[in-house]
Structure 1
């Protein structure tokens, strides 16, 4: 029996062994592997079309130096979509509701973009901290503000993904509980609540895909500033 609505976000443990490693590994086993044949089946064709379209849209604004990140960004996009979508199934666990996991993905990738900018074009990278034409009196204040905004980027990435998924899961569980309780008392209201739950589930599926895309898109924008 669930004692709290937040129990669904606890990392599952079986016989003392954390199962988050299994939750992180399983999505890769579900994606079909590309074949060497000229003609693929519909699933592989759709998958190749999706990956190619996403990589093209993401890499077009970047300079050629940033195209080396295409495979990393595409893999991260597929990984996050898989985790978010699988977490909507019953009796499953969503690893991306854990802030520690999201920060573990956001911080190293953000730091890599900053290091690339400082190595390849240090003048331009430091120039982002002070807009051109700033009055002399505002220079110290703007440098402090821009530095804080730079270091808050990975926190914003991790918190955005965690908060959106956590809020959606909580809302689904609240409405599902209400529909279950009202089934015996007010069947008509329970049916309306169940219809609302269905629509909310569709919305949460869209949110799961959009948040994965936003996470990778923001990383590509950070990379665009430093290549």
Structure 2
């Protein structure tokens, strides 16, 4: 029986329980926790250095008011990059290939930034709906366009990460299947295909990290507009 290529993106179920909940809790178990000693081990030192460097890079352009969001956005970044990378392992499931999960991350945080801007600086937030210097006749059209683009932002965030990861997984499966079926008949071609598969896997690792970074970076830019 020939299964669909998209069956790999279905959430696995065991005894009627969706295993996506297990996949969402697994990343936090893998990271070592800081201890109370003066000196940490090398793993903790590298981990803390990477987190601090990423925090400085993301939050340096933001106003001091936006620095309160550092803990949440950095935790989200670590969580997303862990889910994306763990999903590349054999016999695993990638929760971020589910659009519902990606939107569940994107919509609440985006909505929180919008509400924050409307509450603290309503004039500045509403000013983004009308670019400066717009001709009088185009003002209604520009307001409608900017409003639509504002509400499309969380959808674009969720679709971007889901589509990129889904496309990469599908391409890896197609090339792996081709190499498997070609090996008995054309070993040389199958070996060349396997080399291409290795390079594609390395590219997918980079995509998994970049998509998590872009997701958090865009959320920080939305926060910057409303603080």
TM over 0.5: yes
Q: Which residue of 2 aligns with 1:56?
A: 56
Corresponding residue for residue 170 of structure 1? 170
Structure 2 CA distance for aligned equivalents of residues 34 and 178 of structure 1: 45
How is 1:1-227 mapped onto 2 (pairs within 5 angstroms)?
3-227=3-227
**Aligned-pair Cα RMSD in Å:** 0.8
After TM superposition, what 4+ stretches of structure 1 lie above 6 angstroms from structure 2?
none
Distance in 1 between residues matched to 2:2 and 2:14, nearest whole Å? 17
- Distance in 2 (CA, whole Å) between partners of 1:128 and 1:7 is 42
CA distance in 1, matches of 2:195, 2:13: 33
Q: Distance in 1 between matches of 2:70 and 2:185?
A: 54
User: Which range moves more in the overlay, 80-89 or 131-140?
Assistant: 131-140
Q: Deviations over 1:20-77 (max 9, x none)?
A: 1000000000011111112111110110001000001011000000000000010000
**1:78-131 deviations in Å (ceiling 9; x for gaps):** 000000000000000000000000000100000000000001100000000011
Partner SS for 2:141? helix
Q: Secondary structure at the match of 1:134?
A: coil
Matched residues in 2 for 1:106 and 1:201: separation?
27
Query: Is the partner of 1:220 in helix, strand or coil?
Result: helix
Instruction: Tell me the secondary structure at the aligned position of residue 183 of structure 2.
Output: helix
Q: Give the number of equivalent residue pairs.
A: 227
CA distance in 1, matches of 2:29, 2:105: 20
The unaligned stretches of length 5 or more in structure 2 are none
Q: Structure 1 unaligned runs (5+)? A: none
User: In the aligned structure 2, how far is the partner of 1:129 from the partner of 1:177?
Assistant: 49
Distance in 2 between residues matched to 1:217 and 1:40, nearest whole Å: 29
Deviation at 1:2, TM superposition (A): 6.6
